[in-house]
Structure 1
Amino acid sequence: MDTSKTLQNNNTPQQSLPLSDSVMETLAIAKRGVDELLIESEFAQKLARSEQTGKPLRIKLGLDPTAPDLHLGHTVVLNKMRQLQDLGHTVIFLIGDFTSMIGDPSGRNVTRPPLTREQIEENAKTYFAQASLVLDPARTEIRYNSEWCDPLGARGMIQLSAKYTVARILEREDFTKRFKAGTPISVHELLYPLMQGYDSVALQSDLELGGTDQKFNLLVGRELQKDYGQEPQCILTMPLLEGLDGVEKMSKSKGNYVGITEPGNTMFAKLMSISDTMMWRYYELLSFRSLDEIAAFRKEVEGGRNPRDVKVLLAQEIVTRFHSKQAAEDALADFNNRAKGGIPDDIPEVSLSGAPLGIGQLLKQANLCASTSEALRMVEQGGVRIDGDTVSDKGLKVEAGTFVLQVGKRKFARVTLA
């Protein structure tokens, strides 16, 4: 199959158009909070042409379903998609069911284990449902890249590979580091940027969004579109949101994440745990408030307002978005109750046997600690309470009864021990 003839040629010279006030306003919205917009002048012309013709731009975001759940870090780029969607453009939510079988090597120093077809299908089931908490599903085009990648076949894959050199692929920082360090790079990993780039060709993308770690792959899309006779897409990269620790990128594997389907009380408490400094980063990348309003908050804090008050507003905004206004109000009340040493209303009920039971085993069996050693460390640190009283004896044997166990600030369980 000759892949060079399968897609429409739209690489025709475009006349430079004047930029109206509405185009400049759209450009300003698109640039809010971004890391880079390449190439801005080209994107401005695409917007002007769209305004003149009434034809919306095609804006693409691809996500590989490598995990079953999305977190707030994923919503940074989804929020930008929604802003552009609300401006009337066509957004394409691309599920990389084909590329997931390769495994995105971006930012990795080892080969990523490929997922099975069953794992991919299971994860993909929840992706769009969760993305729809940010995007308008009625106005979102959902696609799977197996639609065009599977039909390529061996011949098409060879023809596609011929359009890029190994030297250019190895310009990618993570590949370069691994090559210099003598760390293995599998041949299939070198194909990943090409396959992601080919997605842009198949979808005739005008703008592709991604995190800063995706910049190389997005640029490959631009180059391949030129090879296939298309006008090259512009690319917009969003910063990677730091997790609750304020250091590492938000990641479920690092435990520093806020899941968008987590209970409202959990989301609220996690957001309140970020530092006062990191709060402004979260405002910039997650809040829908205007930049002027956020600047006013900063000025108030500098003038003496308690930053906790401003953090509460952010936490309530996020919980309202993914749950409801009532859930946000309940989460605030629950958080204040916990801060006063109170017990939340929605704690799990656990029934156990074996009284009297050692405190370490009790905390482990109640799923409040991963192991007895962790439980005993928490006792040493003064982080364990029974009915509000701090436990200091690691050798404590707990008798039969019903009581509330607390570990740290956020873990509770109402335990009935027989």
Structure 2
Amino acid sequence: MLNADKQFEILRSGCTEIIEEKELKDKLALGRPLNIKFGADPSAPDIHLGHIVVLDKLRRFGELGHKIIFIIGDFTARIGDPSGRSMTRPVLSKEQITENSKTYQKQIFRILDKKYTQVVHNSRWLEKMSLEEILMLAGTNTVSRMLERDDFKKRFKENIMIRTSEFLYPLLQGYDSVRVEADVEIGGSDQIFNLLMGRTIQQKYEQPPQSVMTLPLLKGLDGEKKMSKSYGNYIGLDEKPEDIYGKVMSASDSLMYEWAQILSFADKDAIKGLDPRSAKAVLAHNISEYICSKDEADGARDHFEKVVVRKGVPEDIKEFFTDESQMPLADLVFAAGGAPSKNRAKQLVEQGAVSLEGEVIKNFRENIRIEDGALLKAGKRFFVKIRKGK
């Protein structure tokens, strides 16, 4: 292992806050692998670009010889993290959470190495807690302490519902730290209350308090709210390279420069001095390569130049088979995979973003006669060839 000072200099880069710096240096000086904790609730099937800020920091810890403990919050997801929320999150079913959890391991190992990463589900211990244990955990804190949180304080003043279970969320996250004996917990800057709660609860259970490291939040594609599965403004790690590349290219210039500053792997020297579109192309390639591979990033760039810039048609067009003789246009776009919902399909049609055999059609109710081999385009990058039959 590198000495503590060198490790600290590598790890502090890009952090918004470290609590406490001296404490973390002392832990690094122990010369043993530290337990580095990060948790994510599977509230949607995708891990996204916003998570990469934290995952990249975890990778640096792992490469320095430390143990990464990635907690999939399959139990806490049933409550929903209230951090930064102006209202209660919708409650997810066990089935939804289980389904969402399935993709997490595959996605995180695009960034992290299995040799230093342990994946655990917090249902393993939280489901087994007795009522007595839950009451003991609840007794470690007070309602007044919970109402110090900006989100709870705001909702309380505005008479917006706060579920009692939401008060339990930071306590359960803190108890996770006890169970995995976390030396360090990493999270976004909006997680500071929950991370500090981990320190408090560890001390109540007679464990040394974890050090806390927070990282900046990445704004989503809307340029306003943080990138989030809940807001639908994210770029998923499991998306196709050309979709990742295209979404980055669709971001505003100001958002692109902000991302370039936050993402440690962005080629800031190459971006500096370029015009916004060229700079965005560099960042889009950086992100696509980091998530996928250089070859796939090169292919995504070529695809974007051909399909979007030169308005060509890709060579590898997928096919959609149907035995219908005709369909309303919005239904056809949705069924063929050109939109995530029928409402979105209607919007695309009304915006003039849908064409059949090169002809733009703006009436989403129009019944389309199914012709074998017809080319359907939706948006800038979706192409499909319609085939008759199953």
- Give TM-score, length-normalised by structure 1: 0.82
Of 124, 128, 150 in structure 2, the residue corresponding to residue 173 of structure 1 is 150
Of 263, 277, 283 in structure 2, the residue corresponding to residue 314 of structure 1 is 283
Q: Is the aligned partner of 1:346 residue 2:316?
A: yes
Cα offset for 1:393?
Answer: 7.9
Q: Is the aligned partner of 1:97 residue 2:74?
A: yes
Cα offset for 1:90?
Answer: 1.4
Q: Secondary structure at the match of 1:329?
A: helix
Q: Is the aligned partner of 1:222 residue 2:160?
A: no
Q: Is the aligned partner of 1:387 residue 2:357?
A: yes
Match of 1:7 in 2: none
Of 144, 163, 171 in structure 1, the residue corresponding to residue 140 of structure 2 is 163
Match of 2:5 in 1: 24
Cα offset for 1:306?
Answer: 3.1
Percentage of pairs with the same residue: 42
Of 216, 229, 236 in structure 2, the residue corresponding to residue 252 of structure 1 is 229
Q: Is the aligned partner of 1:121 residue 2:98?
A: yes
Q: Is the aligned partner of 1:323 residue 2:296?
A: no
- Return closer, same or farther for 1:256/1:150 CA change in 2, 3 Å cut-off: closer
Structure 1 unmatched ranges of 5 or more: 1-19
- Return closer, same or farther for 1:373/1:68 CA change in 2, 3 Å cut-off: closer
Following the alignment from structure 2 to structure 1, what is the Cα–Cα distance between the partners of residues 330 and 135? 59
Cα offset for 1:221?
Answer: 0.9
Q: Is the aligned partner of 1:210 residue 2:187?
A: yes
Q: 2:353, 2:378 within 8 Å by CA — same for their partners in 1?
A: yes
Q: Which amino acid aligns with 1:39?
A: E
Following the alignment from structure 1 to structure 2, what is the Cα–Cα distance between the partners of residues 285 and 262? 21
Of 185, 193, 196 in structure 1, the residue corresponding to residue 162 of structure 2 is 185
Q: Which amino acid aligns with 1:413?
A: V
Q: Which amino acid aligns with 2:7?
A: T
Following the alignment from structure 1 to structure 2, what is the Cα–Cα distance between the partners of residues 161 and 373? 44
Moved more, 365-374 or 197-206: 365-374
Following the alignment from structure 1 to structure 2, what is the Cα–Cα distance between the partners of residues 392 and 116? 38
Of 274, 277, 283 in structure 1, the residue corresponding to residue 254 of structure 2 is 277
Moved more, 117-126 or 268-277: 117-126
Q: Which amino acid aligns with 1:40?
A: E
Q: Secondary structure at the match of 1:402?
A: coil
Cα offset for 1:342?
Answer: 0.3
- Return closer, same or farther for 1:227/1:380 CA change in 2, 3 Å cut-off: closer
Cα offset for 1:207?
Answer: 1.0
Write the deviation string for residues 155-202 of structure 1: whole angstroms up to 9, x where unpaired.
112222222111111111111122212222222221111111112122
Q: Which amino acid aligns with 2:178?
A: V
Write the deviation string for residues 189-236 of structure 1: whole angstroms up to 9, x where unpaired.
211111111121222211101112211111111112222332211111
Write the deviation string for residues 274-296 of structure 1: whole angstroms up to 9, x where unpaired.
2222222222333425xxx51x3
Of 363, 370, 374 in structure 2, the residue corresponding to residue 403 of structure 1 is 374
Write the deviation string for residues 360-386 of structure 1: whole angstroms up to 9, x where unpaired.
5654554435448954x6556443333
Aligned length: 386
Q: Secondary structure at the match of 1:235?
A: strand
Query: Which has the larger Rg?
Result: 1
Q: 1:33, 1:284 within 8 Å by CA — same for their partners in 2?
A: no
Of 270, 276, 285 in structure 2, the residue corresponding to residue 297 of structure 1 is 270
Write the deviation string for residues 68-117 of structure 1: whole angstroms up to 9, x where unpaired.
22111122211111111111111111122332233222222333344333
Following the alignment from structure 1 to structure 2, what is the Cα–Cα distance between the partners of residues 30 and 24? 10
Following the alignment from structure 1 to structure 2, what is the Cα–Cα distance between the partners of residues 115 and 396? 37
Q: Which amino acid aligns with 2:270?
A: F
- Return closer, same or farther for 1:366/1:27 CA change in 2, 3 Å cut-off: same
Q: 2:270, 2:282 within 8 Å by CA — same for their partners in 1?
A: no
Following the alignment from structure 2 to structure 1, what is the Cα–Cα distance between the partners of residues 176 and 330? 53
Q: Which amino acid aligns with 1:341?
A: K
Q: 1:287, 1:314 within 8 Å by CA — same for their partners in 2?
A: no
Q: Secondary structure at the match of 2:129?
A: helix
Q: 1:160, 1:194 within 8 Å by CA — same for their partners in 2?
A: yes
Q: 1:163, 1:227 within 8 Å by CA — same for their partners in 2?
A: yes
Following the alignment from structure 1 to structure 2, what is the Cα–Cα distance between the partners of residues 198 and 394? 52
Following the alignment from structure 1 to structure 2, what is the Cα–Cα distance between the partners of residues 359 and 148? 50
Q: 2:354, 2:377 within 8 Å by CA — same for their partners in 1?
A: yes
Of 319, 329, 332 in structure 1, the residue corresponding to residue 301 of structure 2 is 332
Cα offset for 1:153?
Answer: 0.9
Q: Secondary structure at the match of 2:153?
A: helix
1:234-245 equivalent positions in 2, closer than 5 A: 234-245=211-222
Moved more, 29-38 or 109-118: 109-118
- Return closer, same or farther for 1:142/1:416 CA change in 2, 3 Å cut-off: closer
Following the alignment from structure 1 to structure 2, what is the Cα–Cα distance between the partners of residues 211 and 143? 20
Following the alignment from structure 2 to structure 1, what is the Cα–Cα distance between the partners of residues 263 and 43? 23
Cα offset for 1:42?
Answer: 1.9
Q: 1:246, 1:275 within 8 Å by CA — same for their partners in 2?
A: yes
Q: 1:98, 1:145 within 8 Å by CA — same for their partners in 2?
A: yes
- Return closer, same or farther for 1:154/1:138 CA change in 2, 3 Å cut-off: same
Moved more, 331-340 or 279-288: 279-288
What is the root-mean-square deviation in Å for CA atoms of aligned residues? 2.9
Following the alignment from structure 1 to structure 2, what is the Cα–Cα distance between the partners of residues 68 and 123? 4
Moved more, 134-143 or 395-404: 395-404
